[in-house]
Amino acid sequence: MDKKTTRRVLTASLVGSSIEWFDYFLYGTMAALVFNQLFFVNEDPTVGLMLAYASFALAFFIRPFGGIIFSHIGDRIGRKKTLVITLSLMGIATFGMGLLPTYQAIGIWAPILLITLRLVQGLGIGGEWGGALLLATEYAPPEKRGLFGSIPQMGVTIGLVLGTLALWIMTLLPNDAFMTWGWRVPFILSALLVVFGLWIRKGVDETPEFKAVQESGDIPKVPIVETLKYHWREVLIAIGAKVVETAPFYIFGTFIVSYATTNLGFSRTATLGAVMVATIITTILIPVMGSLSDRVGRKKLYIMGATAMALFAFPYFWMIHQGSVFMLVLATIIGLGVIWAPITAVLGTMFSEIFDAKVRYTGVTLGYQIGAALAGGTAPLVATALLARFDNSYVPVAVYIIFTALISLVSIWAVKDLKQQQAAHPAATIAKESRA
């Protein structure tokens, strides 16, 4: 593969993923700052916030369904066509959110319409990640698979940076202007990003590995049935491995926006700035860690990251409770910027290496999206509920982070047994060359 094709493939994988996650995270941050006041109106502010977070979590539970729908298309028809559909869905839903009337204007229909668009977002993102990942890894040379697989993971943090930056600029407006029209601007302007993303993806051909499956005629009629019948162990491993990557991310990147401003007295600008700096750092580190995994192995790097996440849970909360903006920024950089980077960098490549090419879209998507549904979207909701239940003590939230790390460490330990099974039954599985 020449350099021009390589750049085009990686750009298509990264750009689309970045736009999808920009749209998605924008909602998460707005849930904490705006939607609890303009859409989920309640006399008790905590109830309003939890309703807003519940709407944020809801899309995570629709994501596996989107994953099933679009991974079926991806394994049957192709990666490229699927990615165009998912990006279009996300763009339409996000643009629509920017035009919605509020609860004060149309009453109960406001949250209903918002939730409907949120569910459309969830369907789109459910199929997006797997396609973006496979676009990169199925074009990758074997010795650079870790690096290529880490590129779409950068889209997650780039999307968060873009969303946070857009929101940070809008928060410079007077509060009345921000609450009236300022919050709508990033949603509406996202349409321009979607058009750009579709243009980039138009110039990318189907992946070589999918073409090989097509030529062999070995395309399953119902990929999810074959996946659950022959690859259910891999799906369970992927679900468990996703937990420590997703729950702490939403604690450090979304929950902290509400917690630091409401409970600790930090300004919105300072909190959003801390998240933005940390995500820029992790965006730089992700391809570095992906490349490193090509030399030292995915599993080793992943275990180091998950262990460090468990060890940092209590120090993180102690640091942000010091009341210093510097400590808030430093804690967020360590947790989100440094410790999280190796976990997310190797996750996608590790998933792709344990599934057969003919069901790979379905397998990686099921594991990723079910794991995200169980631990990702619920994380801010669980953390808020724990604070309310335990008199605003951060101890249960720190324990929750440690618990997610333990789940994932147990799951990744099972990869060794899985490899032994693959060696014993090569006809049922592939990826012997995997370095997970």
Question: What is the CA 238 to chain-centroid distance, rounded?
Answer: 14
Q: What is the mean pLDDT of residues 415-429?
A: 47
pLDDT of 45 higher than 80: no
| Helix 360-375 × helix 340-352 angle, to 10° | 150
Band (310; pLDDT cuts 50, 70, 90): very high
pLDDT at 311: 97
Q: Is 1.20.1250.20 the CATH number for 3-419? A: yes
pLDDT of 434 higher than 50: no
In 263-339, which ranges are continuous DSSP H helix? 268-296, 298-320, 325-332
**Contact at 8 Å (CB) between 356 and 226?**
no
3-state percent helix, strand, coil for the chain, nearest multiple of 5 = 85, 0, 15
Phi, psi of 185 (to 5 degrees): -55, -50
Q: What is the mean pLDDT of residues 207-227?
A: 84
Which letter does DSSP use for residue 219 in this model?
-
Q: What is the tens place of the pLDDT at every residue in 227-251?
A: 999 888 899 999 999 999 999 998 9
Band (281; pLDDT cuts 50, 70, 90): very high
Q: What is the tens place of the pLDDT at every residue in 326-348?
A: 999 999 999 999 999 999 999 99
- Residue among 6, 7, 26 at smallest CA distance from 18: 26
Q: What is the mean pLDDT of residues 316-326?
A: 94
Whole-model pTM: value is 0.80
To the nearest 10°, the Cα dihedral for 239, 114, 336, 315? -90
pLDDT at 128: 85
For 86, left (φ over 0), alpha (ψ -120 to 50), or beta? alpha
Portion of the chain with pLDDT greater than 70, in percent = 94
Question: What is the CA 294 to chain-centroid distance, rounded?
Answer: 23
Ranking 41-50, 141-150, 284-293, 406-415 by mean pLDDT, the lowest is 41-50
Q: Which two tokens stand for residue 210?
A: 């999918």
Q: What is the tens place of the pLDDT at every residue in 56-80?
A: 777 777 888 888 899 889 888 888 8
Q: What is the tens place of the pLDDT at every residue in 135-180?
A: 888 888 888 999 999 999 998 888 877 887 887 788 888 989 988 8
3-class SS of residue 25: helix
Average model confidence (pLDDT) across the chain = 86
pLDDT at 416: 58
3-class SS of residue 247: helix
pLDDT of 89 higher than 50: yes
CA distance 306 to 341: 10
Give 176: exposed, middle or buried? Use CB within 10 Å, 0-12, 13-18, 19+: exposed
pLDDT of 427 higher than 70: no
CA distance 70 to 144: 27
| Long-range contacts of 256-262, Cβ-Cβ distance < 8 Å, separation of 24 or more | 256/320, 256/332, 257/29, 257/32, 257/33, 258/32, 258/33, 258/49, 258/380, 258/384, 259/383, 259/387, 260/320, 260/328
Give the residue extent of every domain in the chain: 3-419
Q: What is the tens place of the pLDDT at every residue in 371-387?
A: 888 887 688 888 989 98
pLDDT of 420 higher than 80: no
Q: What is the mean pLDDT of residues 213-224?
A: 83
pLDDT at 378: 80
pLDDT of 20 higher than 80: no
What residues contact 19, with CB distance under 8 A and at least 6 apart?
87, 90, 91, 155, 159, 190, 193, 194, 196, 197
Q: What is the tens place of the pLDDT at every residue in 104-131?
A: 899 889 888 988 998 898 888 888 888 8
Q: What is the tens place of the pLDDT at every residue in 252-277?
A: 988 888 889 988 999 888 998 898 89
CA distance 241 to 343: 9
pLDDT at 425: 44
pLDDT at 424: 46
